[in-house]
Amino acid sequence: MPVILVFLTLFVGIPLVELYFLIKVGSFIGAMPTILLTLFTAVLGGTLVRIQGLSTAMRVRESMERGEVPAIEMIEGVVLLASGVLLLLPGFITDVIGFVCLIPPVRRLMILALLKRKGVMRPPPGGAGHEHSPSSSGQPRIIDGEFTRDDDSRP
């Protein structure tokens, strides 16, 4: 997709659709309730993003203390940041997308699907634990080799 089309959609198309829905909702429930509803979703979304962001930061810290790379949690942090931005923008469509990103199982599924689609997550060659798995003939794989022991106690 051409870059100009992406920017045109982001900066012109989405605000126009948001404006359309704001006018429709405003004509149905009134201007002041629409403004209050928009402010309410921004405050609620900001609070939820802050709570989930702190939870994600704690999971990152725990993973790092175990010596693991907190890759999924870091991507979740980026999704939470984007979700917070969407919730702060006035409009109902961006709010729906932002709130959907705040549902942890949905967020995790979206991240895993994206990683698999981009080819970042794939099974290791030979499958998981292939060093202990049987070969294609059904026999365990045996690797022959030689070793020597270097002890510091010998001259």
Summarize pLDDT for 72-96 with one digit per residue, the tens.
899 999 999 999 999 998 899 999 9
For the record, the structure tokens of 76 come out as 């979740």
Q: pLDDT of 110-133, one tens digit each?
A: 999 988 888 776 655 555 444 444
Q: Maximum distance among all alpha carbons in the chain?
A: 93
pLDDT of residue 10: 84
- Crossing angle of helices 71-88/31-65, nearest 10°? 170
Give the amino acid at 97.
I
**Residue 152 pLDDT exceeds 70:** no
The alpha carbon of 50 is separated from its chain's Cα centroid by a whole number of angstroms, namely: 16
Cα–Cα nearest to 75, from 110, 105, 35: 110
